[in-house]
Chains A and B, each alone.
Chain A
Amino acid sequence: MEFLRTVGGDFLLLMRDVGPIAAVVLFFQYAVLRKPLPNPKMIAIGFLAVVVGLYLFLLGLDMGVFPAGAEMAEKFSYPENRGWSLVFAFCIGYATTMAEPSLIAVALKAEEITAGGLPSFHLRNAVATGVAIGLTVGVYRILTGDPLWIYILGGYIATIALTWFAPKEIVPLAFDSGGVTTSTITVPLVTALGLGLASHIPGRSPLLDGFGLIAFASVFPIITVLGYSIIAKIRR
């Protein structure tokens, strides 16, 4: 009974998140566009599958990955575990990004648009490598206490420079992949690691140093995806 109540409560919470978007879509579809959807039953089933799928996904993460991940993040956030915290940031960045639903969505769409020319796995692999590198650099910054903006400025300069050499049609996709890397799985684990590190290292403030890891995870994938596209172009 207790289990059922928790599940029911979580599902209500999820519906609260989905409610606004459903309301906006329905309002514009029926009050503004005033056209029936082409295949409303299929779309409704698909929408439901997305919501239920995400719900099961989060429920599953809560049962195993989040508690264990939080424990690891806590363990690695002590200064004497510095080396490990870098390795952990790299591995967890790659692993969580490969399973990130938003990225799967964008990669599927890109594979469809390019008629298979850009396989979903390649794009996701490039993005996940970028998140892994980004988080490692981000944790390094927390350890050293350098100001965040210098790193981000460096990242921005690198993206702009690579934009110059990358095939033009891939550029919007590369910039998109920076935004989709961190939503469902990565944020909770990474925020725990960042704030933990910042509160255990003397002289660091959680607000000044603890935040900012997500920013690394958003900038570095742009660099790796652009880099991937340049290498793919040269090979061709």
Chain B
Amino acid sequence: MRNFLILLYRSFSNVVPLLTVMIVFQIFVIAEPFPNPARLATGFLLVIAGLFLFERGLDAGLFPLGESMAFGFAKKGNIWLLLLFAMAIGYTTTIAEPALIAIAERAEMITAGRITSMALRNAVALGVAGGIALGVVRIILGHPIHYYIIFGYVLVMAITTVAPKEIIGLAYDSGGVTTSTITVPLVTAIGVGLASTIGGRNPLSDGFGLIAFASLAPIITVMVYGLLAL
């Protein structure tokens, strides 16, 4: 019971800054009482309960699932199947990501259809799929991450100089919105699981980094799409 209260308190402490900002801005800047304080309070209770369930579910379900799959693939020893899995996770979770759909639809509207929502979503999803697969290859080879990232940055800047201006903001943004809240824990657990299973790899310095690849690669694919479409 004590344990339960501590965990509940931790979930609550996550939303304290948000609660503070909302209240302070409402009182001092908007300077009007909340239109519906009961509704806001209920909303915050739901947010806290949701975070609590989410954190418990990570420990019980998503982390063990990702680790056990990583062990399974490492044991099987077939790198192509592992890469196929990495790409499938990347593509399927991105193409349906609500934040991405929202941005893609807005982009289609603003460009009057010259950028289509579906093509943009595909460009991002292919980028994420390729990025995660490359990240898995890095874990297996045990390379330091910064060489890959620096190369990625150079590529981003090089393509920026030739890409159509309208696509650049969109492309840079699409790197940030790609990885959904269910994908992140699973992919993180898979990376850390792989790094702990493969001999000579360190879970901290080799296991993390998959999300970084998943965020960088779509910037490149979206700008390439822009070059082809605009």
Asked if B69 and A25 make an inter-chain contact with CB atoms under 8 angstroms apart, the answer reads yes
Q: Which residues from chain B contact A68 at a C-beta distance below 8 Å?
A: 22, 26, 34, 40
Q: Which residue of B lies closest to A153 (CB)?
A: B157
The 9 A-B pairs of least Cβ separation, nearest first, read A46-B61, A60-B46, A49-B57, A53-B53, A57-B50, A46-B60, A63-B43, A64-B43, A56-B50
Q: Which residues from chain B contact A110 at a C-beta distance below 8 Å?
A: 204, 208
Asked if A46 and B62 make an inter-chain contact with CB atoms under 8 angstroms apart, the answer reads yes
In the assembled complex, the CB of A34 is this many whole angstroms from the nearest CB of chain B, namely 9
Asked if A43 and B184 make an inter-chain contact with CB atoms under 8 angstroms apart, the answer reads no
Asked if B169 and A208 make an inter-chain contact with CB atoms under 8 angstroms apart, the answer reads yes
Q: Which residues from chain A contact B166 at a C-beta distance below 8 Å?
A: 207-208
Asked if A176 and B211 make an inter-chain contact with CB atoms under 8 angstroms apart, the answer reads yes
In the assembled complex, the CB of B39 is this many whole angstroms from the nearest CB of chain A, namely 5
Asked if B29 and A72 make an inter-chain contact with CB atoms under 8 angstroms apart, the answer reads yes
How many residues belonging to B are interface residues under a CB distance threshold of 8 Å?
108
Scan B37-77; emit 1 where CB is below 8 A from any A CB, else 0. 00111111111111111111111111111001100110010
CB of A92 within 8 Å of the partner chain = yes
Range, interface on chain A: 35 or more
Known contacts A56-B53, A212-B173; A46/B64 CB under 8 A? yes
Asked if B85 and A148 make an inter-chain contact with CB atoms under 8 angstroms apart, the answer reads no
CB of A146 within 8 Å of the partner chain = no
CB of B229 within 8 Å of the partner chain = no
B17 partner, pick from A61, A62, A95, A163, beta carbons under 8 A:
A95
Known contacts A75-B30, A179-B212, A218-B175; A207/B61 CB under 8 A? no
